[in-house]
Amino acid sequence: MLTDKKIILGISGSIAVYKVADWIRALRRAGAEVQVVMTEAAARFVAPLTFAALSGNKVYEGMFDPNDAEQIPHINLAAGADLILIAPATAQTIARLAHGMADDLLSALVLANKSPVILCPAMNSNMYLNSATQNNLAQVREYGYRVVDPDSGSLACNTEGPGRLVDWSSAKEVIYSALSQQDLAGRKVLITAGPTREPLDPVRYLGNRSTGRMGFALATTAKRRGADVTLIAGPVTLPDPPGINVIRINTADEMAGEVLDRSQDMTVVVKAAAVSDFRPATYSANKLKKATAKSTLDLTSNQDILKTLGKKKLEGANPILVGFAAESHDFIKEGWRKLRDKNIDLLALNDITADDAGFAVETNRITLLDQDGTEEKFPLLSKEETADLIWNRVVDLLNK
């Protein structure tokens, strides 16, 4: 995603300086070239040498370094940048930017720059909450700079409150959004993810091996592309992705309620969840005891949520429907049957017999089927890359 992107990391002087050392490594692992610019104060916390070694590039500090004079660093660095990330952004640096000042290299290059600017503030809570800082943040937002609100918690100065530098996972999403095409902007997208659990008694349930990774990857990538995302997730251990409305459910029945209530307002519904087709016919409020329990289980069918949505579509309902099918045999034939039977616009097929695709792994290898009869097979990819391919096809359908 960040291959060949040139990111300027502007570091200003807060105790959180040491945390961004890891961010440089993550950016480089994702393919970016990182150019570090430090303010004078930042260089007092951690030596520029650390950032030079981690970024693989010279660190720029001053406007008037005689070694770089002929390069006019504030102009040339700005000209080559795809994005400027300022982390940690101190009250002082935010104030400089809010007032259009250009009295150090970092502020001068932000002024000379035309690429997206992201600020990750980090400071003492009182400094952060001070009206002067809040007004400055409102001002830089008005200039179009993106501000990633700091986390709340215990701070290095022994106080509690907002002001902690955000985690890399939150900063990363804002960076990826800033560099993504906003081709789902304004689109309301509903995604289901994970397994469902159908309880038998207070300790036992029917479930499946889904981990939710594919659905969460779809939610994250849709958000990056500008969508307004609602994620309805079964019981999985994944944390809520930043900026997404996450609704946690347990049973297929609860999932059906949440999906059907919302589907009419949506542009796209993606059913990546592995929904249980059946539930125990009766639920025992007391734990079943082996001395008295039956050795067979009576089951009742759950509603097929996607099929219900497909029927509503025949009656004129809106959303584009994307389904998933995990198959162990006859998988293309089964895929076409499900696409037609459930009236789905796009179906992503997995062969679950492969060790590297489908359930409980980081990668996927899908074949996409659509209503025009197109069958497109993709290679083994990460779940995020797979999700992006699905969104490319959804965008094509939306533009049709």
Site string for ligand CTP, 291-310 (x = CB under 6 A): -----------x-xxx----
Instruction: Return the axis-axis angle of helices 20-29 and 48-55, rounded to nearest 10°.
Output: 10
Do residues 352 and 359 touch, judged by C-beta distance below 8 A?
Answer: yes
Residue 120 is a catalytic residue: no
**What one-letter code names the amino acid at 348?**
A
**Helix 213-224 and helix 383-399, axial crossing angle in degrees, nearest 10:** 50
Q: How far is the CB of 331 from ligand CTP (least distance, A)?
A: 10
Q: Identify the active-site residue in 53, 69, 138, 157.
A: 157
Binding flag, residue 252, ligand CTP (CB under 6 A): yes
201 part of the interface to ligand CTP, by CB under 6 A: no
* Residue selected from 116, 212, 323, 335 as contacting ligand CTP according to rule CB under 6 A: 323
Span 162-181, contacts to ligand CTP by CB under 6 A: none
Q: Identify the CA nearest to 166 among candidates 191, 181, 147, 194.
A: 147
CB of 305 to ligand CTP, least distance (A): 3
Q: How far is the CB of 243 from ligand CTP (least distance, A)?
A: 24
Q: Rounded to the nearest whole angstrom, what is the least distance from the CB of residue 255 to ligand CTP in the complex?
A: 8
Cα 397 from Cα 395, distance rounded (Å): 5
Please tell me the distance from the alpha carbon of residue 6 to that of residue 33, in angstroms, as a whole number.
5
Enumerate residues 6+ apart whose C-beta is below 8 A from 47.
none
The one segment of 7-15, 75-83, 234-242, 271-279 that binds ligand CTP by CB under 6 A: 271-279
Piece of the chain touching ligand CTP by CB under 6 A; list 7-15, 51-59, 323-331, 377-385: 323-331
Closest contact distance (angstroms) between CB of 58 and ligand CTP is 51
325 binds ligand CTP (CB under 6 A): yes
Contact call for residue 386 and ligand CTP (CB under 6 A): no
Q: Does 324 bind ligand CTP (CB under 6 A)?
A: yes
* DSSP class per residue in 152-191: EEE-TTS-EEEEEPPPHHHHHHHHHHHHS--TTTT-EEEE
Residue 96 and residue 111: Cα distance in Å, rounded? 10
3-state SS class at 56: coil
Q: Minimum distance between the CB of residue 236 and ligand CTP, rounded to whole angstroms?
A: 14
Task: Work out which of 231, 273, 357, 390 binds ligand CTP, going by CB under 6 A.
Answer: 273
Residue 352 C-alpha from the chain's centroid: 25
Residue 351 binds ligand CTP, judged by CB under 6 A:
no
Q: Closer CB to ligand CTP, residue 15 or residue 260? A: 260
Residues 6+ apart with CB under 8 A from 75: 109, 112
Could you say whether residue 214 binds ligand CTP (CB under 6 A)?
Answer: no
In angstroms, the first-to-last Cα distance of the chain is: 26
- Choose the binding region for ligand CTP from 59-67, 284-292, 317-325, 389-397 (rule: CB under 6 A): 317-325
DSSP-assigned states of every residue in 257-295? HHHHHHGGG-SEEEE-SB--SEEESS--SSPP-TTTS-S
Note the residues at the interface with ligand CTP (CB under 6 A). Answer: 252, 271, 273, 275, 277, 302, 304-306, 323-326, 338
Active site residues: 157
